[in-house]
Structure 1
Amino acid sequence: MKIATILPVLAFAFISVNCNKVKEETKSNSEIAIKSDSIAKPIKKELPENFDEFNKKFHSDSLFQVSRVDFPIEGKHVSGFEQYNWTRKNWQFQVIPVAEKTEIEEYQHSLVKTDTLITEKFWIPDSGFEVERQFKLIDNKWFLIYYNDINL
C-alpha cells in the first residue's frame, strides 16, 4: 500500500519538475531569440545631413537644388519695379555657395549658423541691395526655406 501511494506522488513530482524545466527552457530560448533579433536588426537612427556636402551639391546641381527648395518659399525677388514671389517656374539657379567669408569686398556679409538653421546675408549699405537666404534642417535634410533678393 505504501508503494501504491508513493508511486503516484513520485510520478506527480517528476512531471511537475520536468514541466517547470521545459517552461524555463522555452522562456530562455524566447529571450535569446528576442536578443538575437535586436542584434540582427539594429535601430537605424538617421544622422543629419552634413551641411558642407549639401552646400556643394546644392550650388552645383540644378535638379538637386530645385528638389531642396521648400516651395512655396518665403521671400521674394525685387528688381526696380519688377517684383514676384519665388515659384518652381521662375526659380533662378543659385551658384554661390554659403561661405564663412566673402571675397567681394563691396558687400557686407553675415552668417549665423546653428545645428538646424543657417542664415546668410549680403548687402551694400544705403544702396537698396540686399540678399538673404535661410537653410533649415527638416527630417535630417537641408532645405532652402527663405530667399529674399532685393535690388532697388
Structure 2
Amino acid sequence: MKISTILLVLALTFISLNCNKVKEVVNLNSEKAFKNDSVVKPVKIELPENFDEFNKKFHSDSLFQVSRVDFPIEGQHVSGFEQYNWTRKNWQFQAIPVAEKSEIEEYQHSLVKTDTLITERFWIPDSGFEVERQFKLIQNKWFLIYYNDINL
C-alpha cells in the first residue's frame, strides 16, 4: 500500500512539474512576440482551383475567359489561307467546355488529364481539321496555355 501511494505522489508531482514547464515556454514565446512587436499572422493555404468549376465559368464568361488565357498563347489559328497567332485583340470566345466524351460523332476526341495539365484534342482523320487545347494549373489557378485551331 505504501509503495503505490509513493508512486502516485511521484507521478502527480512529475505531471505537475511538466505542465508548469509547458506554461513557462508558452509564456516566454508570447513575451518574445510582444517584445519584438511582431504579430503572428495565420498562414492562408490556398487549395488548387477545381477544374470542373473553372471549366464551366471559363466557357460561359467572356471576361473571365480572357483573364485566364496566358497571352501570348502558344498555338495558332489556321483557316484556309488565313493564319495568325492568338492575341487579346483577335481572341475568339470559346463556348464548348472540356468534356470526357465528344457529343459530335464525326470528330475523334482525346482527353488527357493530370493534376496540373489537361490536354483535349478534336480531329477528323485525313481532313485537315484539328483543334487542340491545353490548360495548366499555375499558382493554383487554371489557365489556357495552348490553343491550336487548324481547318484546312
- Larger Rg belongs to: 1
Does 1:42 pair with 2:42?
A: yes
Report the Cα distance in structure 2 between the residues aligned to 1:87 and 1:28, rounded to whole angstroms: 56
Give the TM-score normalised by structure 1.
0.77
Report the Cα distance in structure 2 between the residues aligned to 1:147 and 1:88, rounded to whole angstroms: 13
How high is the sequence identity, in percent, across the aligned residues?
85
Secondary structure of the structure 1 residue equivalent to 2:52: helix
Extract unaligned runs of 5+ from structure 1: 1-24
The RMSD of aligned alpha carbons is 2.0
Question: Which residue identity is paired with 2:49?
Answer: E
Give the TM-score normalised by structure 2.
0.77
Report the Cα distance in structure 2 between the residues aligned to 1:123 and 1:85, rounded to whole angstroms: 20
Equivalent pairs, count: 125
Deviation >3 Å, runs of 4+: 25-28
Deviation of residue 138 (structure 1)?
0.3
> Deviation per CA, 1:58-103, whole angstroms, max 9, x where unpaired?
0000000000000000000000000000000000000000000011
Partner of 1:102: 102
Deviation of residue 45 (structure 1)?
1.1
Partner of 1:4: none
Partner of 1:72: 72
Report the Cα distance in structure 1 between the residues aligned to 2:145 and 2:60, rounded to whole angstroms: 18
Report the Cα distance in structure 1 between the residues aligned to 2:115 and 2:123, rounded to whole angstroms: 24
Partner of 1:29: 27
Deviation of residue 26 (structure 1)?
7.1
Extract unaligned runs of 5+ from structure 2: 1-22, 34-38
Report the Cα distance in structure 2 between the residues aligned to 1:139 and 1:54, rounded to whole angstroms: 14
